[in-house]
Amino acid sequence: MRIGIVLVVLVAAGVSTYLGIETRKNRLVWDHFDVVKPDILYRSGQLNPDQLTEAVKRYGLRTLVNFQRPGPGVEAERALAKSLGIDFLNLPMTGDGFGQELQFREVLKACDDPDRRPVLVHCARGTCRTGASVALYRFERDGWTIADVANEMRRQSYRDGWLPGYVYQMIKNRQGFPLPDPAITLDRNLIPPVTPPTEKPSQEGTD
Amino acid sequence: MLADKTVATRPSLRLRADLPDLAATRADWPTRPMMIALAVGFVLFGAAGLELSPGEARVGMASGEGVGPFGRVFGYWDPSVWPLPVAFGQVWSYFEELGPTQNAVRWPAAIAGVLIGFILARRARLTIDRRAGVLVALAWFGSFALMDRSSVSGLDLIAGLGTVAALDRLLAKGSGWVVGLWASLAFLAAGWPPLAVLGLATVVLGRSGATWSWSTTCPVAVTVAAWSAWALSQARAEAWASALALPITQPSSWGLAIAAVCLGLPWTPFAILSTSRPLREGWSKESRGMILGWLKVLGATLIVGMMVPGLGSAALVPAMAGLAVVAASCWDRLLADAGELPATVGRRARRIALLIAGLWLILVLGWGGYVGFAIAYYRSTMIAVGLVSLAGFLMAIRASRLGEVRWALGAMVAVSVALKLAHWGYYVPESNYRTGAGPWGRAIGQWVPEKHPIHVLHAWPADLAFATNRPFRQLPAPHNIDFQPTKGSKFILLQDSEYAEYLNWSKGWPKLIKVAEFEDEMGLSKRILTRTDEPLIIERPFRKHDPVE
C-alpha cells in the first residue's frame, strides 16, 4: 500500500513537473489565450510561431497586434505575419499597460473594419497591455460597467486594479451626466496690476 | 481477489477486543450539527453565485412586480410562472436595496433543497437510526444537483419540497390534511403536474392508510378553486387555461432516469446495492417499509415522468429523493454490518466507490490539469480539487485493500467535497463569464435611473432583461409610450433595425434621444438605448437604510 502511495505521488509529481516546464516554455497551452468576441477579437500572451500559425489558421485571423517594444521578437513576428499574409500592428508600450489612448484606439479601428478582423491582440503575458486594450473594447463597444471590466481583467490574472480606471477615462461616451457646453469658462475680472508710469526727464527748456 | 485475501488474513478492526464497538459509537453521531454542517457546506455556501437562466430570470423579473395568480413578466401575466416561487422571491427581495437580484431566486431554491434534505434525513433518523439520518443528508446535500440547483437541469426544488414532504408524510403517517397542505404548496409552485405525480405515487404505494382520502383532497381542492377564482378575477380566462394547459405542450422526458442518476452523483450508483437480498433482509420492518416505499416512489415517478408529457420536471425531485434514501440506507446497512452480510455486497460497494473515485480523478487530472495550467485564475482551485480527489482515490484503494467500507465512504465524501470545490471555484465563475447575461444587462441598466422602467417593443431575452436590474415593460406599439405612468422622459431599448425604422419613419413614434449603444454578445447587431425627448425627472428611490429625518 505504501509503495503504491509513493508511486502515485511520484508519478503525480513527475507529471506536474513536466507540465510545469512545458507551460513555462509556452509549449503546452496557448498562454492566456481567450476569445473576447468570436470572429472579431481574440487575446493571448506571447505565442510561439507554431501556435501563432495555428491560431491564424483556426480562427482566420487577419490582423496581429503586438504591444511589445521593438526587438528581435517583434521583428520575427512581423516576418511571420508577412509570410502568413496578415496585417501586423506594433503598438509598443511599457509592460504595465499604461499605453496612450491613440494606440489602443488603433485596435478598435482594426476591429471595426470588416476587412481587417478577426484581430488577435497580445503582449508578453496577455495580462496588462492586452487587458487594457480589451478593456477599451468592452467599454466602447459593449458598454460594460467598470466593475465588470475589472472582473474580466482579474480573470485574466490582472491583480493591480489600476488599469480599468485608467482606460475608463478614455471612453467617449461615459455613463454619467454630460458636461455642459462649454465645460470651462473663465472671466478674467481681476484688475490688472497697475504699472507706474516711467518718469521721463523733463524736456522743458531752461531759460 | 487481492482484497478478499486481505480480508481473510487480516481480522476486522471492529472485532478486536481492544477497540470500542465502532458501529455503536457511530450510531450516536451528533445528527443535527452534522446535517446543518452538510447543508451549509454543500448547498448554502455560494448558493447565489450562478447567474440565472432565462427561465429562472422570468421568476426573478416577476419578483419585482406585484403579487398575482401568475408572475408578471415584461408587464404582462406569464402563465408559466406560478405564484409561490414569485412570493418567495418577493419576500427575499424585500431585503435587497434596489429590487430583486439573483439572490431572490437562488436562495429560496437553496433553502427548499435544504428543507427537503432535512425532511428526508429526519425520517431516516427516526425510522432507522442516527447514522442513517446523516447518510441520507450526505447523499442528498452532497449530490451535484443540490450544489448546482440550476433550472437548466429541470430541477424545481420549491415544487419538489411540497411533493417530497407530502410523500414523506404519506409513507410515515398515511394520508391526511397535512399531506393535502403540502400538495397544495406544490400546486401553487408548479401547477397540477406535482399533484399528478403524487396521485400516481399514492396508487403505486397501495397502502391502506396512504390513499388519496377526503382529508387530503379537501385542502387541494380548496387551493385549486381559490387560485382559479383569483386568476379569473385578475386575468382573462385564456391566461388561466394557458397555465393549466402549458405542461401538456411539453415533450416527454425520456432521459429522466439518466438525469436523476447523473444529478444525484456521486451517491446514486450505490442504490443498486438494494438488489442484494441479504442486505434488504437486514432492514427492520419499519425501515423496510420506508425504504421500499421510496423505491416504489422512485419507480413510479420515473415511469410517469418519462411517459406523460409535462411531468418530467415534477417527477425529477421525488425520484432523486428516492434514490438518495435508498443509496443512504444501503450505506447504513453496510456500516452496521457485524459480519452477517456476504462479502460480495461490501466488495461491490468498494468497487463502485473505487470506480467513481478513479473516474473522477481521471477527469480532474485531465480537464482540471489543463484548466489549471492554461488559466492561472483557476490554478489554486484546481490544485485543491486535485489534492482532495487524489485523497479520495487513495481512500478508495485503501478500502479495497483492507475490505473496510468506511474508507469507501470516506472516498465518496472526498469526491463530493472535490465536486463542490470544482463547482464553486471553476464552474460557476466560468459559466457566468461564458454564458451569463450579467455584464451585458448591467451595461444597459447603468444608463437608466434606479427603478425607472425600460420599455421594449418585443420580448427580449429574460436573463438579459433581469440583469439590467430595472423593470421591463413591453409596449404593444411605439405610441403607447405616451400612456405610461412614469413622469418625464421614458427609456426605450431598441434593436438597431428598430432604431433604423424609427429614423426612416418617425410619424407614429415619439421623438427619441439616443442615450447609448451596445454590441451584442456575438457582435452581430446593436442594442440602442433611447429616451423620449422630455425632461428627465429622477426621483431618488426610498432606500431602506436612509436615516429618518
Taking residues B187-203, what's their average pLDDT? 91
Domain membership flag for residue B400: yes
Q: How far is A34 from chain B (nearest CA, A)?
A: 10
CATH fold of A28-168, please?
A: Protein-Tyrosine Phosphatase; Chain A (3.90.190)
| Residue-level pLDDT at B278 | 85
Helix (H) or strand (E) holding A36: strand A34-37
pLDDT at A91 over 90: yes
Residue B78 cell numbers, joined: 406569464
Q: Give B450's contacts in chain A (Cβ within 8 Å).
A: none
Residue range B90-122, pLDDT digits in tens = 999 888 877 889 999 999 999 999 999 999 999
What pLDDT shows up at residue A135?
A: 96
Residues B137 and B237 placed together within one structural domain of the fold: yes
Contact A40 B374 (CB under 8 A): no
Are residue B368 and residue B319 in the same domain, yes or no? Answer: no
| Residue B10 confidence class, pLDDT cut points 50, 70, 90 | very low
Domain ranges of chain A: 28-168
Measured between alpha carbons, how far is B411 from B395 in angstroms, rounded to an integer?
A: 5
| CA–CA dist B96, B57 (Å, integer) | 16
Residue B78 lies in a domain: yes
- Secondary structure element (H or E) that encloses residue B472, with its range: strand B472-474
Q: How confident is the model at residue B544 (pLDDT cuts 50, 70, 90)?
A: low
Residue A191: per-residue pLDDT? 79
Closest partner residue to A175 (CB to CB) among B377, B447, B519 is: B447
Q: Which residues of A touch B517 (CB under 8 A)?
A: 143
B-chain residue closest to A5, CA distance: B394
Tell me whether residue A23 is exposed, middle or buried, using C-beta atoms within 10 angstroms of its C-beta: 0 to 12, 13 to 18, 19 or more: middle
Determine, yes or no, domain membership for B540: no
CB-nearest partner of A145 from B369, B443, B517 = B443
Q: Could you tell me if B357 and B320 lie in one domain?
A: no
- On the question of pLDDT at B25 being above 50, the answer is no
> What's the mean pLDDT in B249-263?
88
B109 and B129 part of one domain: yes
Asked if the structure places residue B11 within a domain, the reply is: no
* Contact status of A23 with chain B (Cβ, < 8 Å): yes
Give the total number of structural domains in chain B.
3
* DSSP conformational letter for A200: P
Q: What is the pLDDT of residue A202?
A: 57
* B538 located within any domain: no
Average pLDDT over residues B224-236: 93
**Are both B284 and B320 inside the same structural domain?**
yes
In the listed set B276, B309, B335, which residue is the last one of a domain according to the structure? B335
Position B26 scores a pLDDT of 47
pLDDT at B196 over 60: yes
pLDDT at A139: 94
Lowest mean pLDDT among A203-207, B500-504, B534-538: A203-207
Q: Per the CB < 8 Å rule, is B433 touching A8?
A: no
For B189-194, what is the mean pLDDT? Answer: 93
Kindly state whether residues B462 and B377 are assigned to the same domain: no
Across chain B, mean pLDDT equals 87
C-alpha cell at B402: 483492507
Range of weakest confidence among A136-145, B71-80, B501-510: B501-510
pLDDT for res B450: 84
B367 interfacial to chain A (CB closer than 8 Å): no
Q: At what angle do helices A146-155 and B438-445 cross, to 10 degrees?
A: 160
- Is residue A203 pLDDT above 60, yes or no? no
Render pLDDT for B315-331 as a digit per residue (tens, 0 to 9): 999 999 999 999 999 99
pLDDT for residue A4:
66
Q: Which of A4, A8, A37 sits opposite B523 (nearest CB)?
A: A37
- Residue of B383, B404, B446, B447 for testing the chain A interface, max A β-carbons within 10 Å: B446
Query: For A89, which DSSP code?
Result: E
- DSSP assignment of B257-270 equals HHHHHHHTTTTGGG
Contact A37 B439 (CB under 8 A): no
CATH of the domain at B513: 3.40.190
Q: Inter-chain contact B370–A29, Cβ cutoff 8 Å?
A: yes
What pLDDT is recorded for position B330? 92
A143·B518 Cβ contact <8 A: yes
C-beta atoms of A143 and B523 within 8 A:
no
Q: Is the pLDDT of residue B224 over 60?
A: yes
B152 has a pLDDT exceeding 90: no
Taking CA–CA distances from A137, the nearest residue in chain B reads: B519
Domain presence at residue B503: yes
Confirm or reject contact between A141 and chain B (CB < 8 A): yes
Residue contact A1–B523, C-beta within 8 A: no
* Nearest CB to B373 within list A8, A28, A148: A28
Instruction: Reply yes or no on whether the pLDDT at A31 is more than 90.
Output: no
Q: Is B323 found in the same domain as B412?
A: no
Strand partners, B532: B512
- Confidence check: pLDDT of B3 > 70: no
Structure ipTM: 0.81
Q: Give a yes or no: residue B168 inside a domain.
A: yes
CA distance B196 to B524: 45
The answer as to whether B15 is a domain residue is no
Please give the residue range of the domain that contains residue B463: 439-532
Judgement on whether residues B170 and B302 belong to the same structural domain of the protein: yes
> Is B377 within 8 Å of A156 when comparing Cβ atoms?
yes
Q: Are residues B153 and B261 in the same domain?
A: yes
Beta bridge partners of A88: A64
State whether B382 and B413 are in the same domain: yes
Task: Return the DSSP state at B44.
Answer: I
Cβ neighbours around B91 below 10 Å, total: 13
Chain A contact present for B432, CB below 8 A: no
pLDDT tens string B314-370: 999 999 999 999 999 999 989 887 677 888 888 999 999 999 999 999 999 888 888
In this prediction, residue B175 carries a pLDDT of 83
pLDDT at B24 over 60: no
Nearest-CA residue of chain A relative to B444? Answer: A143
3-state SS, residue B82: coil
Q: Are residues B75 and B117 in the same domain?
A: yes
Using the Cβ of B517 and the Cβ atoms of chain A, whether some distance falls under 8 Å is answered with yes
Residue in B closest to A23 by C-alpha: B373
Q: Hey, is B302 helix, strand or coil?
A: helix
Whether B190 and B67 map to the same domain: the answer is yes
What pLDDT is stored for residue B51 in this prediction?
A: 92
The chain A residue lying nearest B370, using CA atoms, is A29
B369 touches chain A (CB under 8 A): yes
Across A147-170, average pLDDT: 90
Mean pLDDT of A45-62: 93
